[in-house]
Structure 1
Amino acid sequence: MFGLIGHLTSLKHAQLVARELGYPEYADQGLDFWCSAPPQIVDSITVASITGQKIEGCYVESCFLPEMLANRRIKTATRKILNAMAHAQKHNIDITALGGFSSIIFENFNLEQFRQVRNIELEFERFTTGNTHTAYIICQQVEQASQKVGIDLPEATVAVCGATGDIGSAVCRWLVQKTDVRNLFLIARNQDRLQELRTELGCGKIMSLEAALPLSDIVVWVASMPRGLEIESQIFRKPCLLIDGGYPKNLATKIQHPDIYVLNGGIVEHSLDIEWKIMQVVNMDVPARQLFACFAESMLLEFERLYTNFSWGRNQITVEKMEQIGHLSIKHGFRPLPV
Structure 2
Amino acid sequence: MFGLIGHLTSLEHAHSVADAFGYGPYATQGLDLWCSAPPQFVEHFHVTSITGQTIEGKYIESAFLPEMLIKRRIKAAIRKILNAMAFAQKNNLNITALGGFSSIIFEEFNLKENRQVRNVSLEFDRFTTGNTHTAYIICRQVEQASAKLGIDLSQATVAICGATGDIGSAVCRWLDRKTDTQELFLIARNKERLQRLQDELGRGKIMGLEEALPEADIIVWVASMPKGVEINAETLKKPCLIIDGGYPKNLDTKIKHPDVHILKGGIVEHSLDIDWKIMETVNMDVPSRQMFACFAEAILLEFEQWHTNFSWGRNQITVTKMEQIGEASVKHGLQPLLSW
Q: Per the shorter chain, which TM-score range?
A: over 0.9
Partner SS for 1:167: helix
For 1:22-37, list aligned pairs within 5 A: 22-37=22-37
For 1:88-107, list aligned pairs within 5 A: 88-107=88-107
Match of 1:210? 210
**How far apart are the structure 1 equivalents of 2:336 and 2:56?**
23
8 Å CA contact 2:22–2:42 kept in 1: the answer is no
Partner SS for 2:316: coil
**How far apart are the structure 1 equivalents of 2:74 and 2:21?**
27
**How far apart are the structure 2 equivalents of 1:248 and 1:17?**
17
Match of 1:241? 241
For 1:297-308, list aligned pairs within 5 A: 297-308=297-308
**How far apart are the structure 1 equivalents of 2:107 and 2:100?**
12
Q: Deviations over 1:79-109 (max 9, x none)?
A: 1100000000010000000000000000000
Which sits farther off after the overlay, 300-309 or 10-19? 10-19
Partner SS for 2:38: coil
**How far apart are the structure 2 equivalents of 1:92 and 1:19?**
26
Match of 1:195? 195
Structure 1 runs (4+) greater than 3 angstroms displaced: 20-23
What TM-score, normalized to structure 2?
0.99
**How far apart are the structure 1 equivalents of 2:117 and 2:223?**
30
**How far apart are the structure 2 equivalents of 1:328 and 1:104?**
25
Q: Which amino acid in 2 is paired with 1:164?
A: T
Partner SS for 1:38: coil
How far off is 1:256 after superposition?
Answer: 1.1
* Alignment: residue pair count: 339
How far off is 1:229 after superposition?
Answer: 1.5
Partner SS for 1:69: helix
Match of 1:127? 127
**How far apart are the structure 1 equivalents of 2:229 and 2:33?**
30
**How far apart are the structure 1 equivalents of 2:284 and 2:296?**
14
**How far apart are the structure 2 equivalents of 1:124 and 1:20?**
30
Partner SS for 1:192: helix
Q: Which amino acid in 2 is paired with 1:181?
A: T
How far off is 1:276 after superposition?
Answer: 1.0
Which sits farther off after the overlay, 128-137 or 9-18? 9-18
How far off is 1:22 after superposition?
Answer: 4.6
**How far apart are the structure 2 equivalents of 1:5 and 1:154?**
39
8 Å CA contact 2:141–2:337 kept in 1: the answer is yes
Q: Which amino acid in 1 is paired with 2:260?
A: I
Partner SS for 1:20: coil
Instruction: Percent identity, please.
Output: 73
How far off is 1:28 after superposition?
Answer: 1.1
**How far apart are the structure 1 equivalents of 2:165 and 2:23?**
35
Q: Deviations over 1:159-208 (max 9, x none)?
A: 00000000000000000000001110000000000000000000000000
**How far apart are the structure 1 equivalents of 2:87 and 2:103?**
16
Q: Report the CA distance shift for 1:70/1:63 in structure 2 as closer, same or farther (over 3 A).
A: same
Match of 1:276? 276
Match of 1:45? 45
**How far apart are the structure 1 equivalents of 2:20 and 2:58?**
17
TM-align CA RMSD? 0.7
**How far apart are the structure 2 equivalents of 1:52 and 1:26?**
41
Match of 1:252? 252
Match of 1:139? 139
Match of 1:314? 314
Q: Deviations over 1:187-241 (max 9, x none)?
A: 0000000000000000000000011000000000000111222112111000000
Q: Which amino acid in 2 is paired with 1:260?
A: V
**How far apart are the structure 2 equivalents of 1:162 and 1:235?**
20
Structure 2: gaps of 5 or more residues: none
Partner SS for 1:46: strand
Partner SS for 2:19: helix
Partner SS for 2:57: strand
**How far apart are the structure 1 equivalents of 2:51 and 2:24?**
40
**How far apart are the structure 2 equivalents of 1:23 and 1:69?**
21
**How far apart are the structure 2 equivalents of 1:202 and 1:62?**
41
**How far apart are the structure 2 equivalents of 1:158 and 1:23?**
43
Match of 1:173? 173
Partner SS for 1:276: coil
**How far apart are the structure 2 equivalents of 1:102 and 1:157?**
32
Partner SS for 1:143: helix
Match of 1:72? 72
**How far apart are the structure 1 equivalents of 2:297 and 2:235?**
36
